Amino acid sequence: MPSIAKHIEQLPSNQIREITQAAWATPDAIVLSIGEPGFPVPRHILEAGMAALDRDETNYTPNEGIAALRRSFATRFGSRNGMDLDPARVYVTAGAQQGLHLAMSMLLNAGDEVLIPNPGYPTFTMTAQLVHARPVSYPLRPDNGFQPRISDLEDLVGPRTRLLVVNSPSNPLGAVFSEQLTRELMEFAERHDLWILSDECYEAFTYGVPHVSPARFDADPQRVVTSLTLSKTFGLTGLRVGALVMPDGLGTEFNAVMESIVSCVGASPQYAAVAALTGPTDYIETAARHYRSNRDAATAVLSSLNIDYLDAQGAFYLWADLSHATGGDVRAWAHRFLAEEGVAVAPGTAFGSNGEGWIRIALCTDSESLLTGVGRLPKR
């Protein structure tokens, strides 16, 4: 049999899926390893999707998405960021992950270098490798609150560097960038003529601090591509609806790349997404209160166990230091912890080498399961 492509053979496995699938196969396991919102989807969103099917809206949609959804994304993103956003800059994708792949496909040549956070979401690296680019990790360290340092980025930028990936609120860290840091990252990109790909999957969930998008400071020539999704904001992980907010004038190129990957997003999920973006915000408000309450309760348990953690300002994860128990191999420890204690957490190395000794705890389950699972962590 002929061999598969070398760059596919070299793709790392996704340790989040690895531990989660093991947990799903473990009877009565408490699953704190995956970011799956647990609230029922509001009825008006479901009915909008079903009404589209009742109308037999089952044909192709435009590559860039239906006009009503592009307007809805533009209105929400623009209002939250103090911008008058032209819907023509919004392109609908099959979830944020397809949006990341599409954006990197458009922005990167083979051999170009991409600055990627470490720890950071694993598909940043995987997607760069898929498009034959070279991921270069920039460190996020405990002594700086797991925030990027411009000096570290300056040390890593080179003649092949083309793209900076940023993620605030962060998965897995829960860290949120300040306005000052966001401006500094924009200035860095301008100095080196880089694109910025801003993953804002968790923009709806911050606690006591604002979410600041780099797009607010994007001057001519525009260089920011923003990735959005409804998966986390409205708990629509299975509908696969996201969007890219892109600089002016890239519609022809987007449509060509979109046509070659998935052609278009299905009509029914898009109409459901319109209902989500234009309807009541009760779901977001309820979810945000639950995540914040879970964060506060779980950190109290961690403190009682003398376990260090990053105080999450956004998203719905806790980043905790288990280096006292993991013996230098947190991935193996996570599997032992699941087998012995019946609790699944994501090993920090799922997010890069700087995650060794750390774990990510998802806060989106019910409070009782969360506190039971966190309470089983080994005391420091």
Query: Domains plus CATH for the chain?
Result: 6-40+282-375 (3.90.1150.10), 59-278 (3.40.640.10)
Alpha carbon distances (Å) from 143 to 123, 146, 209, 336: 25, 7, 20, 29
Render pLDDT for 334-353 as a digit per residue (tens, 0 to 9): 999 999 999 999 999 999 99
What confidence tier does 279 reach under pLDDT thresholds 50, 70, 90? very high
Render pLDDT for 165-222 as a digit per residue (tens, 0 to 9): 999 999 999 999 999 999 999 999 999 999 999 999 999 999 999 999 999 999 877 9
What confidence tier does 1 reach under pLDDT thresholds 50, 70, 90? confident
Q: How far is CA 364 from the centre of its chain?
A: 15
pLDDT in the model for residue 11: 84
pLDDT in the model for residue 373: 98
For the entire predicted model, the pTM comes to 0.95
Q: Residues 205, 288: contact at Cβ < 8 Å?
A: yes
121-133 mean pLDDT: 96
Render pLDDT for 235-266 as a digit per residue (tens, 0 to 9): 999 999 999 999 999 999 999 999 999 999 99
The single-letter code of the amino acid at 276 is A
Contacts of 261 (CB under 8 A, 6+ apart): 98, 101, 102, 105
CB crowding 136-161: b at 16 or more within 10 Å, else e: bbbbbeeeeebbbbeeebeeebeeeb
pLDDT in the model for residue 8: 87
pLDDT in the model for residue 136: 98
pLDDT higher than threshold 90 for residue 119: yes
**Six token digits for residue 220:** 């001519």
Alpha-carbon gap, residue 102 to 115, rounded angstroms: 17
Render pLDDT for 6-40 as a digit per residue (tens, 0 to 9): 888 888 888 999 999 999 999 999 999 998 888 89
pLDDT in the model for residue 51: 98
pLDDT higher than threshold 90 for residue 311: yes
What confidence tier does 68 reach under pLDDT thresholds 50, 70, 90? very high
Strands (E), the chain: 30-32, 90-93, 113-118, 134-139, 161-167, 195-199, 224-229, 242-245, 309-310, 317-321, 343-347, 358-362
pLDDT in the model for residue 289: 96
51-67 mean pLDDT: 97
